[in-house]
Amino acid sequence: MTAKELQIPPHSAAIILAGGLGKRMGREKQYLELAGRPMLEWSVEAFSGPDGFEELIVVLTPENLALHGRDWEARGFKTAPAGATRIASLKNGFKALSPAIELVAVHDGARPLADARLVASALKAALKAGASVPGVPLKDTVKRLSADGLFFEETLDRSRLMAVQTPQCYRKATLSRALKAAGPGTDYSDESQILEKLGIRPAVVLSDYRNIKVTTPEDLIVAEAFMKEKTTLKAAAPRTRFGFGYDIHRLVEGRALILGGVRIEHPKGMLGHSDGDAVLHAVCDALLGSVAAGEIGIYFPPTDLTIMGLASSAIAEKVLEILKEKKASIINIDATIVAEEPKLKPHYENIRKSVARIFKLDLDCVSIKAKSREGLGDIGHGGAIACYAVAGVLK
């Protein structure tokens, strides 16, 4: 999905039900460790991104509310006490919603492998249909038991059956109606079951078999394996990073004017310890910044007299070595030269080609442009040239 498709609709809230006692597990499961973190931490992760839900409510047992409630609230969560049944817990969480909320996702605290794609899809389906339920097609043949439980008496058509999961999502008004319709003291396997009594059909959202609910010790082993794979892939996936660079040199007579590795005919050149190529210096600093590797003065200090007049292409070679060590590859380079003289537009393509060659990039990965200072300051009076650069890398 694209970033736009992953966006959470406005005025959305999530209620995480973490008040179960874990009877089949033999102990409270929400705080069991999974891949180095309490399982509940993984369960809320898909809901707590920076551009997501307006409200997050975690429903805890009274004991955990006393132990952890303040910590959750300090992180921006609302809390609510668990009730005697799932529906009672959900009603308590629902009471904590503010009037501005329009969409509600209800998720099991013991379902740690839901992802942002599923959450966004389920919410958007609920926005259209009033309610949505994620599910996966059944893999096994399903049979109906006899009333005494001793015999199989019918094979069901599994093509019309699905195993349902959470987050189950609702328009707030739809969920309110369902909770009011729930019989007092009656529990349900999930709140969407009540919709059947009301004649409301929730939309189907195709989910993933990995989005399991941890109910038994065997489930915990499976979830641990899935989580390790998920975190390994996430850690291994390259990330886009950016760096910014800047350089300025005074123009003096008697020096060659070098920009981006290209010699440009002009009566003045840039004063510097090396050849004064402000373009390559700014680009190199941007690339070093993208991998948090400092700036070129660390590797080529101006106090080192042995590198006087050094070609800046040699500085670029060192930067490429550092990027290789950091396992980073360049995506693109965008540089803006600020100069009053000489006029640089005729030189754009030559500088682009040179920078692309030096950094081993395709030409369409390099942008070079120039701006003047409209007669302002040292640059505006023809006394200096500066360059700003941004570089993107995958690391």
Rounded Cα distance between 74 and 59, Å, is 15
* Alpha carbons 76 and 71: distance in angstroms, whole number: 9
- Residue identified by tokens 């729930």 is 182
- If asked whether residues 228 and 173 sit together in one domain, one would say yes
Domain presence at residue 211: yes
Is position 209 within any domain?
Answer: yes
Model confidence, pTM: 0.63
3 falls within a domain: no
Q: Are residues 302 and 358 in the same domain?
A: yes
Nearest to 389 by CA among 291, 315, 289: 289
Report the distance separating Cα 115 and Cα 210, nearest Å: 10
Residue 273: what pLDDT?
Answer: 85
How many separate domains does the chain show? Answer: 2
For residue 307, the model assigns a pLDDT of 81
Residues 206 and 156: their CA atoms lie apart, in Å, by 21
The per-residue pLDDT for 51 is 67
Q: Tokens in use for 301?
A: 């200090």
Examine the domain organization and report whether 70 and 109 are in the same domain.
yes
In the structure encoding, which two tokens stand for residue 314, read together?
Answer: 């040699």
* Helical (H) or strand (E) element with 20: none
Domain boundary among 204, 236, 268: 236
Same domain, 322 and 208: no
Q: Taking a C-beta distance cutoff of 8 angstroms, is the pair 109, 17 a contact?
A: yes
Domain stop point among 236, 262, 290: 236
176 and 264, same domain (yes or no): no
pLDDT score for 234: 65
The number of helices, as runs of H, and strands, as runs of E, in the chain is 12, 19
Q: Tell me, what's the pLDDT at 332?
A: 96
One domain, residues 218 and 84: yes
Query: pLDDT tens digits for 334-370?
Result: 999 999 999 999 999 999 999 999 999 999 999 999 9
Spatial distance between the Cα atoms of 296 and 313, rounded to a whole number of angstroms: 12
Q: Are residues 140 and 175 in the same domain?
A: yes
Helix (H) or strand (E) holding 54: none
Q: What is the DSSP letter of 305?
A: G
For 186, list phi and psi in degrees, rounded to 5.
-90, 135
Domain that holds residue 385: 240-394
Q: Residue 7: inside a domain, yes or no?
A: no
Based on the fold, state whether residues 248 and 230 are members of the same structural domain.
Answer: no
Q: What is the pLDDT of residue 217?
A: 87
CATH code of the domain containing 196 = 3.90.550.10
For residues 362 and 223, membership in a common domain is answered with no
Q: 215 in a domain, yes or no? A: yes
Query: Which stretches does DSSP call E strand in 233-311?
Result: 240-253, 257-259, 262-264, 268-270
CA distance 129 to 171: 9
Give the whole-angstrom CA distance, residue 94 versus residue 230. Answer: 31
For 158, the token pair is 């599994």
Nearest to 13 by CA among 126, 117, 114: 126
Number of C-beta neighbours around residue 311 at 10 A? 15
- Coil, helix or strand for 134? strand
- The answer to whether residues 72 and 203 belong to one domain is yes
How many other C-beta atoms are found inside a 10 Å radius of the C-beta of residue 392? 17
Of 191, 210, 236, the last residue of a domain is: 236
Predicted pLDDT of residue 3: 54
Q: Is residue 23 part of a domain?
A: yes
CATH number of the domain bearing residue 304: 3.30.1330.50
Distance from C-alpha of 250 to C-alpha of 236, rounded to nearest angstrom: 44
With residue 321 as reference, give the H or E element that holds it. helix 312-325
> DSSP labels for 75-119?
TT-EEEE--SSHHHHHHHHHHTS-TT--EEEEEETT-TT--HHHH
* Residues 215 and 325 reside in one and the same domain: no
Report yes or no on 200 lying in a domain: yes
Q: Classify residue 1: in a domain, yes or no.
A: no
Identify whether residues 204 and 93 lie together within a single domain. yes
CA geometry: angle at 43 spanning 40 and 45, to 5°?
Answer: 110
Q: Which two tokens stand for residue 19?
A: 């008040």
The Cα-based distances of 177 to 131, 137, 164, 194, 254 in angstroms read 12, 28, 21, 9, 83
Spell out, as residue ranges, where the chain has pLDDT lower than 70. Answer: 1-5, 21-28, 50-51, 233-237
Q: What is the structure's pLDDT at 229? A: 83
DSSP H helices in 33-85: 39-45, 62-74
